[in-house]
Structure 1
Amino acid sequence: MKIILTCFLLVFGVLQGFTQTNQLIGKVTDLDNQPLTGVNVIIKKGTIGTQTDNDGNFRIANLSLGNYTVQVSYIGFKTKEIQVSIAANDSTNLGTIILYEGNEILDEVILNATRRNKFSRKETAYVAKLPLKDLENTQVYTTIPSDLLVAQLVTTFDDALKNAVGVDKLWSATGRGGDGSGYYTIRGFNVQPQLVNGMPGLTNGTINAANIERIEVIKGPSATLFGSSVTSYGGLINTVTKKPYKGFGGEIALTTGSYGLTILSGDFNTALDTNNDIYFRLNTAYHTEDSFQDAGFRKSFFVAPSLSYRVTNNLSFSVYAEITQAEQTNPVSLFFNRAAPAASTNVEELGYNTKLSFTSNDLTLKNPSSNYRIEMDYKLSDAWRSQTIVSRSNTSSTGYYSYLYEYGILAPNTFTRFINKENGKTHTTDVQQNFIGDFKLFNLRNRIVAGLDYYHTTSVDNSTAFAFYGNIQPNGVITNDNPITPEEEVVPFPLTEAGVLASLSNQPINNFKTKASTYSAYISDVISILPTLTAMASVRFDHFENEGDIISSEDNFEQTAVSPKFGLLYQPILEKLSIFANYQNGFTNVAPDLVGDPSAGPQTLKTFEPEQANQLEFGIKANLFDNRFKATLSYYDIKVSNKVMIDPNAPFNRIQDGEIESKGFEIEISTNPISGLNIKGGFSNNESEIIKTDNPSLQNTRPVKADCRNTL
């Protein structure tokens, strides 16, 4: 019995040693008693360890009796070592361990490097609505990075766009309600910069350059992914704003120049929590400048707060805002009567004194605007993620706007000035839900985006009608006779607010409120058939509902459009050279019109199909000599059909039979021949003409809104 009992006790002791429950527990905080998450707690000279949870607690189990050295380490804090002795089969509580901030756990690392060709375009997730390299994208686009804007001391959006090949300025931002910012032309069609971070973002004035991370000019009809409301047949302009980044930093800058130019800007970025999960960035700028002309000024205050919050490794939120308060005099606007012979064919013959503004600093426009955006990104799996975006834009215009119009019935080169008091607002709301995937199907890599889009706009117009306010010759001579009234008028028209208000006292005031909504669904797939061969296929279903003036149902209409897009790309030299071809589509919703001879009875309302634009394009993209040379060469042909025009056989009828063609080629080069020297340039040629119209005088002529033929 003694031998059996001794063996039993020996076995029991061995088993007890294998099933011991000895453990270390404790909590790790910072000096402010805030728990630290993810702190490494390890037993030195062993393989046992753990990390703290969200409350800073930790637990290390299954420890043998004995003495240990516990090491507690966390990035950004001083490492701490604690001696502990486990002498009993029980839990040993180390209590609260406080870590102090320091940098001793990281050895200093100095990186000396320069980025080659830093002015060349960057990869982007906006152009294709999914991450895609330029050499993999069948669409042509130009990127204007912030590095280039800083190097050029760019202070305006207009100056920034001079770096985009094939983009010409039509006119500056007028500040007038409904006009938005400035107008530009791309590939023979006018366009406004109405996208911010890939979402609608409106403004009635000049876009502030202080918050620009980069500008993306996407070429060709792009309605398939972005819709028709914020794009044109020539392309679109997307402004990418500055966003929060990990770390602490900022700058304050003062820019001054001639004619009273003063810009004071600030950029500040910081973390808002100890775990570096919440980052905040603030960009702000005050801008004021006068004009080189006898009158005119512009001033604005801009603030752009942004916040990023990483809730978990799979879930993050981002919030962006841009708020602007601006006031300006509207620039000179000269319009010619195209139905009358022109007295001058160039500025020299016009005799325009460029120092004259034909306005005064007493007549101004105020253009407050704001853009807000909330984004949620959630990683559904290794292959799929969800992106939910809500954006809101508000713009308004209050003040005085004037323009000069040449009737052609007065003395040569005499313009009639019209003026009104603006009072308008525009509100837009856009909601997008995107699902972005990267997976293999039948051993083929698919990069896909599928989304739903709801876009709503409301416009309010309480402006006055335009009033006659004198006749002006470009050299400054003023006459006061109204060309559209029989009596001769010699009443002076002073450029004062009181004088303008007196002239507008008898003018009617608009009372319009219009609404429109667009419901869309789209899908785009980039398929890697081979490592060197990819194909893109996309389609958009778009339903447009126009309520028109809300007090009347006569102008309401609905239209549905389908917009496809295809592309094929081959890389004969992988990651260095690609040959591409694409087909892209754009469309415009066309409102119904009254037709029928009014003398024969009531007119009827005739509906139309959406106007369509189709582009065929092919070209070459190159990235050679270890990123020192990047280039794009492309040829495009855009045909616009379903243009509504007057029926040549029935002047009171409308037919949808007009056509426009715009074709040309573009070359863009960005090179870094030697370290420190970056060269960016290009050339474009565009030929636009009306190829089908009821008006013989317009047949084979260049459309009014087309750009210059050549740009450099």
Structure 2
Amino acid sequence: MKSQLTLILILASFSFSFSQIGSVSGTITDNAQTPLMGVNILIKNTSQGTQTDENGNFEISNISNGDYDLVVSYIGFKTKEIAITIANGKANKIAPIILYEGNEILREVVVEGERRNKFSRKKTAYVAKLPLKDLENTQVYSTITSDLLESQVVTNFEDALKNAVGVEKLWSSTGRGGDGAGYYSLRGFSVQPQLVNGIPGLTNGTINAANIERIEVIKGPSATLFGSAVTSYGGLINVVTKKPYVGSGGELSFTSGTYGFNQISGDFNTSLDKDNNIYFRLNTSYATEQSFQDAGFRKSFFVAPSLSYRVNNKLSFSFYGEISQAEQTNPMFLFLNRSAPTQSTNLDELNYNNKLSFTSNELTLENPTQNYRMEMDYKLSDTWQSQTILSKSSTSTKGYYSYLFDFGVFGNDTFSRFISKQNSNTQTTDIQQNFIGDFKLGTLRNRIVVGIDYFNSTLTSNDSGYAFYGNITPEGGSSGDNPFTADVETDTYPLSTSAVDAVLESQGVANVKSKNHIYSAYISDVLNITSSLSVMAGIRMDIFDNEGDLANEEDDYDQTAFSPKFGVLYQPIQDKLSVFANYQNGFTNVAPELVGDPSNGVQTLKTFDPEQANQLEFGMKTNLFNNRLNATISYYDITVKDRVITDPASPFNRIQGGEVESSGFEIEINANPIKGLNIRAGYSNNDSETTESDNPEILNRRPLEAGPETLYNLWANYEFQQGKLDGFGFGLGFNGASERFAINYLSTGEFILPSYTVANASIFYQVDKYRITLKLNNAFNKEYYKGWTTITPQTPRALYANFTYMF
């Protein structure tokens, strides 16, 4: 009888326990009712969780009775917490959950092994200041991913940009005050990399590649969302840095290569609290490098701390900082004369020994740089978010800057050296307040950003004047005859700091401090008329307040500019193919000038409207074969008007009548045809011409800043997936350009730099937590040059070895 009673009690206990176990299920979609696959659903403070299937469905079983919070998270979307109750062991079917797209403050770790098309990341919150997919965006942009940089063992920013369609280096980073960062041609216009994470982030040197998550090259005039202070008519370059992510880990990496290159870098990410709401990430790097020439070096150190703090489901903060210190010799370009013919018309005639640097390792520049960004994101509702950003930059130049210029006085292609001692600093402050919405009016989906922006720049310069410091010839000759004196001189000019300082004692030192302020307001809306048809419209108003030199009130002026933007996009095949057209605008504030014949009395100050650039563009974008083929094909036409020129009727008057036209087409392909093979390819052609100008020197000629007409690039990377070669891989590729003008003026004629094609290759092995890579740049040791009224030799063949440990 006892045994029977015990059995009954045991069975009753099991039955009661079973009745206390329930489940929860549901469906998750985005705001357009598209099911989301792979969304993480976690029961808070437990280890129970799951992911949605391809239809957006999920189910979590074996949940004990009680009250819980479901945490729903997905990359690129705002995290949601939903309260549920499990009672009487019932199965709970909850209402459909809608996730709204958000920012990139706190990301999750994604297992990349199965991700397709690693060279393409075409969803970003920066390009449109909205989290748009590439197929939804009427603007064209190229994204250079960290996977692509890793496969190429990229050690510098210039090599990274070779992967962007239509981008070509004009000249290297010089380190000089005010504009020492590198210059690049983009759609016929020069541009510098001056944005970090979508806001101003200046540098007088080069950007450290070890802290790059990706690079976004945004094409065409983009003043509507980004203003004019840090963009160009051809577009802009935005560097997205590495940020904290959910989880812990990191890596240590060492790279060594030809010409004394050595770099050690570290990346560490961890949670700082037990609830995993505060994450900290630290990136750091130290690098040294010598030149392939007889003198020249660069050494740099940087540390980049970043912090993300999720206070609750509505409020989050983030902080980013980068502190860098670099010292280098500035590259010695050969500056061709812009007003008199150079004796030689090509490199063969110039007889240039490009192994000569014409400087010494004593004459260096230091470029300390600091960039800081603080952001607060507050979820006002399911459809509205507030984003408040404060950023500050400080970049300095200290040391010796020199250049070589052909005056055309001595003949024999003699270039005179000029040296200045630089001591300057640029400080910027940027404050943005954005309200970002994603809501429906009836059946029409609106994604909108409304923002205000304040930008301030302060430049302090205590640079010395430029002193003559000897002559050189491209083959290595030298002389001391000063082109500004009548006597024939035979002085010597040693390349030492003591000798240079002695000459610079006769030069004056500037004492200049200048400021400008920009007050802006903008709005941009992407309206989905149907799920396949959308239109975009935006406008910006800028109030430019230039204080100029604080000691000179005469150069103060104010100016107001408006910048509209429109676009239309249609997806014939939903989420796979889109065709688009856009109109984009850019502008430049123009300072007043004195006009009037001085012999007739006092001249008057004449003001001008901002210079305007307008682009029309159309094209198509694809995302085919389950994200295995991403392609963008576009044609653009940019017209720059209202450039200030001399009045043809009077040499003492200035009018707005100058015009430049730039048009072309671009093709970019990112493909993952089979597992393990990733391909990146691009081709661009640009036709630029100065169509109206008072200066006959440049009229109907290609502007020098336009760079080469044709650019192309290819990189293919394959990793074996199984068998004895599992973990091994290799990469092959090339990049090249057509010939370009170093000089192209009426009186000087043309000096053309030849076309080039440079091949690169790599081989690697990775297993578990290790990766070893060998990379060969310029495999065939091609001698080639770049320039912008300059002649700059590029690096010969170089071999790099990288070892990375991941934890």
Query: Shorter chain as normaliser: what TM range?
Result: 0.7 to 0.9
Instruction: Indicate the residue corresponding to 1:476 in structure 2.
Output: 476
Q: Percent identity?
A: 66
Tell me, yes or no, if structure 1 residue 177 matches structure 2 residue 177. Answer: yes
Residue in 2 that maps onto 1:28: none
CA RMSD of aligned residues (A): 2.1
Aligned residue for 1:341? Answer: 341
Which secondary structure does the structure 1 equivalent of 2:621 belong to?
strand
Counterpart of 1:486, as a letter, is: A
Specify whether residues 45 and 237 from structure 1 end up closer, same or farther in structure 2 by C-alpha distance, changes over 3 A only. Answer: closer
- Kept in 2, the 8 Å contact 1:187–1:707? The answer is no
Provide structure 1 residue ranges, at least 5 long, that are not aligned to the other structure.
1-36, 53-62, 64-109
- Tell me the secondary structure at the aligned position of residue 620 of structure 1: strand
- Which residue identity is paired with 1:293? Q
Does the Cα contact within 8 Å between 1:40 and 1:49 map onto a contact in 2? no
- Residue 554 of structure 1 aligns to a residue whose secondary structure is helix
SS at match of 1:599: helix
Q: Deviations over 1:137-166 (max 9, x none)?
A: 000000000000001000000000000010
- Matches of 1:40 and 1:357 in 2, distance apart? 64
C-alpha contact (below 8 Å) 2:479/2:491 kept by paired residues: no
Contact persistence 2:224–2:564 (CA under 8 A): yes
Measure, in 1, the Cα distance between the counterparts of 2:141 and 2:47. Answer: 50
Distance 2:526 2:63 in 1: 49
Contact 1:41–1:51 (Cα < 8 Å) also in 2: no
Q: Which residue of 1 aligns with 2:705?
A: 705
**1:384 alignment counterpart:** 384
For residue 307 of structure 2, give the secondary structure of its aligned residue in structure 1: strand
What is the rounded CA distance, in whole Å, between the counterparts of 2:244 and 2:488 in structure 1? 64
In the TM superposition, what whole-angstrom CA distance separates every residue of 1:552-598 from its partner, at most 9, and x where no partner exists?
Answer: 11000000000000000011111111110000000000111122223
Q: 1:41 to 1:392 in 2, by over 3 A?
A: closer
1:41–1:49: 8 Å Cα contact kept in structure 2? no
In the TM superposition, 1:487-636 aligns within 5 A as 487-636=487-636
Mean CA deviation greater in 431-440 or 174-183: 174-183
More deviation in 701-710 or 689-698?
A: 689-698
Q: Per-residue deviation at 1:113?
A: 5.3
Partner of 2:295: 295
Q: Residues 235-254 of structure 1 correspond to what in structure 2 (within 5 A)?
A: 235-254=235-254
Residue aligning to 1:190: 190
Q: Which letter does structure 1 place at the counterpart of 2:327?
A: E
TM-score, length of structure 1 as denominator length: 0.85
Deviations 1:47-99 (A, max 9, x none): 753469xxxxxxxxxx9xxxxxxxxxxxxxxxxxxxxxxxxxxxxxxxxxxxx
What whole-Å deviation, never above 9, does each CA across 1:107-133 have from its counterpart, x for those lacking one? Answer: xxx989521111123300000001000
Maintained 8 Å contact 1:362/1:495: yes
Aligned to 1:72: none
Q: Is the 8 A contact 1:460 1:514 kept in 2?
A: yes
Alpha-carbon displacement from aligned partner over 1:17-75 (angstroms, at most 9, x marks no partner): xxxxxxxxxxxxxxxxxxxx964799x999753469xxxxxxxxxx9xxxxxxxxxxxx
Tell me, yes or no, if the aligned pair for 2:419 and 2:468 is still in contact at 8 Å. yes
Partner of 1:128: 128
Instruction: Tell me if 1:465 matches 2:482.
Output: no
Contact 2:298 2:328 in 1 (8 A): yes
TM-fit CA distance, 1:651 = 1.5
1:318–1:375 CA contact under 8 A, matched in 2: yes
Distance 1:547 1:674, change over 3 A: same
How far apart are the structure 1 equivalents of 2:249 and 2:63? 40
- Aligned equivalent of 1:85: none
Q: How far has the Cα of 1:459 moved from its partner? A: 0.2
Alignment partner, residue 425 of structure 1: 425
SS in 2 for 1:698: coil
Summarize the Cα distance change of 1:47–1:335 in structure 2 as closer, same or farther, 3 Å threshold.
Answer: closer
User: 8 Å contact 2:285–2:302 — kept in the other structure?
Assistant: yes
Per the alignment, residue 725 of structure 2 pairs with: none
C-alpha distance in 2, partners of 1:626/1:427?
46
3-state SS of paired residue (2:638) = strand
Whole-angstrom CA distance in 2 between matches of 1:628 and 1:115: 10
Secondary structure of 2:501's partner? helix
Q: What is the match of residue 661 of structure 2?
A: 661
Larger Rg: 1
Aligned residue number for residue 674 of structure 1: 674
Where does 1:350-429 land on structure 2 (aligned, <5 Å)? 350-429=350-429
**Structure 1 residues 46, 237: closer, same or farther in 2, change over 3 A?**
closer
Per-residue deviation at 1:484? 1.5
Greater Cα shift, 457-466 or 625-634: 625-634
2:470 counterpart of 1:453:
no
Matched with 1:156 is: 156
SS in 2 for 1:652: coil
Q: Residue 488 of structure 1 aligns to which amino acid in structure 2?
A: V
Look up the equivalent residue of 2:531 and give its one-letter code. Answer: P
Deviations 1:253-302 (A, max 9, x none): 10000111000000000000000000000000001011111100000001
Would you say the 8 A contact 1:576–1:623 is kept in 2?
Answer: yes
Partner of 2:269: 269
Give 1:489 shift. 1.9
1:281 aligns with 2:298: no
Q: Find the counterpart in structure 1 of residue 66 from structure 2.
A: 49
What's the TM-score, normalizing by structure 2?
Answer: 0.75
1:12 is matched with none
Q: How many residues align?
A: 621
CA distance in 1, matches of 2:335, 2:612: 29
Q: Which amino acid aligns with 1:317?
A: F
Secondary structure of the residue aligned to 1:348 is: helix
1:207 shift after superposition? 0.2
Deviations 1:425-482 (A, max 9, x none): 0000000000000000132000000000000000001000000011111111001111
Tell me the amino acid that sits aligned with residue 183 of structure 2.
Y
1:311 to 1:346, Cα distance in 2 relative to 1, 3 A: same
Structure 2: distance between partners of 1:150 and 1:45 = 43
The one-letter code sitting in structure 2 at the alignment partner of 1:628 is R
